Amino acid sequence: MSGGKFLETLAGKRHPTPPIWLMRQAGRYLPEYRAVRSTTRSFLEFCYTPDKAVEVTLQPIRRFGLDAAIIFSDILVVPDALGQKVWFAEGEGPKLEALTDPSQFGRLSRARLQEHLAPVYEAIRRTRAELPRETALLGFAGAPFTLACYMIEGGGSKEFGKVKKWAYAHPESFKLLIDLLIDAVVDHLGHQVDAGADAVQLFDSWAGVLPEEQLFHWSLDPMVRIAKGLRVRHPHVPILAFPRAVGPAALMYRLPETFSALSLDTGIGAHWAAKEIQPHICVQGNLDPIMLVAGGEAMEREATRILDKLGHGSYVFNLGHGVVPQTPPDHVARLVEIVRNWKPSS
């Protein structure tokens, strides 16, 4: 099977040591990334230049021999493709021309999504052709609630006051946006699989800001609908879910029977996950990204603790969130070694 150990693990096959890849494995912590990045001012233009996207996708694979590559792109290409203005301000993160009124939904349209995102699909096609057969290629998208956060807040946020107020006070119009995003994300993931992605991951980075009922309604149900919609087109493609910071109870709500793997943030206990989640579904995670910055014995002890808890079941080694820019690349190389040399204790 192409895609090797990672895809086999998602399909239920056990290996002596788990596969490993890292969220945000391509990025500013790598000098070779910064070198390519510096050739394009606009981040979105960079994402839409297949030569460059392919190159930076392959960089961490060449350097560390990880079991999966994730296509270099961003979750905000979807609002961009729907017609919302998106840009990245130097040192400030993403900015969007915020939606302030439901009447503005009318300006968003899926009609040109495939055409607009053709460079992403081209980058996937070329990356798949260049990757070793045993390395899986992941496509991805932001889940509707996280996309709505950026679209309504106009960028990052601490309180998420605008998006939450809109969802609570005007659920009918918020639903229109979420429904549009469900369809757009199914389209985008479907095109990524058509282009050669072996599996896809849905990132709901901000799901954890919602209280329980709202979380089910605006984050988890839409994720389930996306998985079902994608399976109509691609019945066998593995789909991973990353509903960040939702707590243990919410993870058990409809996700284990719907997805191929659940990606755990650092707040989920590995021991609990081994007992309660792993019997139902493969888990991925959940080393603290700052352990990777710290390195040394602290990282080794913590990575081994997680491996001892989860490595006996269906498991993909990863972080609990993305690699941060201050990470020393040598620590990543060491982490890969720790995972590959791990020996189950019993």
Active site (catalytic) residues:
24, 28, 37, 74, 150
Residue 274 marked ligand-binding: no
Q: Compare residues 18 and 155 and give the one whose CB is closer to ligand CP3.
A: 155
Residue 244 annotated in ligand binding? no
With CB atoms as reference, the residue minimizing the distance to ligand CP3 is 205
Asked if 35 is part of the footprint of ligand CP3 (rule: CB under 6 A), the reply reads: no
We find the least distance from the C-beta atom of residue 297 to ligand CP3, in angstroms, to be: 27
Where do runs of H (alpha helix) occur along 200-266?
212-215, 221-233, 247-251
Binding mask 67-96 for ligand CP3 (x = CB under 6 A): ---x-xxxxx-----------x----xx--
Which whole-number Å values give the CA distances from 78 to 39, 58, 129, 298, in the listed order? 24, 23, 25, 38
- To the question of whether residue 201 is assigned a binding role by annotation, the answer is no
Measured CA to CA, the distance from residue 127 to residue 104 in angstroms comes to 37
Q: Considering the rule CB under 6 A, would residue 217 count as an interface residue with ligand CP3?
A: no
Measured from the CB of residue 193, what is the shortest distance to ligand CP3 in angstroms?
A: 16
49 binds ligand CP3 (CB under 6 A): no
Asked whether position 29 contacts ligand CP3 by CB under 6 A, the answer is: no
By beta-carbon proximity to ligand CP3, the closer residue of 23 and 226 is: 23
Give the residue with the Cβ less far from ligand CP3, 24 or 233. 24
Does 23 engage in binding with ligand CP3 (CB under 6 A)? yes
What is the contact mask toward ligand CP3 in residues 249 to 288, using x (rule: CB under 6 A)?
Answer: ----------------------------------------
Q: What is the 3-state secondary structure (H, E, C) of the chain?
A: CCCHHHHHHHCCCCCCCCCECCCCCCCCCCHHHHHHHCCCCCHHHHHCCHHHHHHHHHHHHHHHCCCEEECCCCCCHHHHHHCCCEEEECCCEEEECCCCCHHHHHHCCCCCHHHHCHHHHHHHHHHHHHCCCCCEEEEEEECHHHHHHHHHHCECCCCCHHHHHHHHHCHHHHHHHHHHHHHHHHHHHHHHHHHCCCEEEEEECCHHHCCHHHHHHHHHHHHHHHHHHHHHHCCCCCEEEEECCCHHHHHCCCCCCCCCEEECCCCCCHHHHHHHCCCCCEEEEEECHHHHHHCHHHHHHHHHHHHHHHCCCCEEEEECCCCCCCCCHHHHHHHHHHHHHCCCCC
Chosen residue from 25, 49, 284, 314 binding ligand CP3 by CB under 6 A? 25
Q: Binding to ligand CP3 by residue 320, rule CB under 6 A? A: no
Q: Which is nearer to ligand CP3, 76 or 123 (CB)?
A: 76
Q: Count residues binding ligand CP3 (CB under 6 A).
A: 22
63 contacts ligand CP3 (rule: CB under 6 A): no
Q: Is 145 in the site for ligand CP3 (CB under 6 A)?
A: no
Strand stretches in the chain, DSSP E: 68-70, 86-89, 93-96, 136-142, 199-204, 239-243, 261-263, 282-287, 315-319
- The answer to whether 43 contacts ligand CP3 (rule: CB under 6 A) is yes
Cβ distance to ligand CP3 smaller for residue 120 or 274 = 120
Residue pair 188/232 in contact (Cβ under 8 Å)? The answer is no
Q: Is 236 annotated as a binding residue?
A: no
205 near ligand CP3, rule: CB under 6 A: yes
Part in contact with ligand CP3 (CB under 6 A); list of ranges 4-12, 19-27, 127-135, 247-255: 19-27
Is residue 203 a contact point for ligand CP3 (CB under 6 A)?
yes
Least gap, CB of 328 to ligand CP3 (angstroms)? 17
User: What residues line the site for ligand CP3 (CB under 6 A)?
Assistant: 23-28, 37, 43, 70, 72-76, 88, 93-94, 140, 156, 203, 205, 322
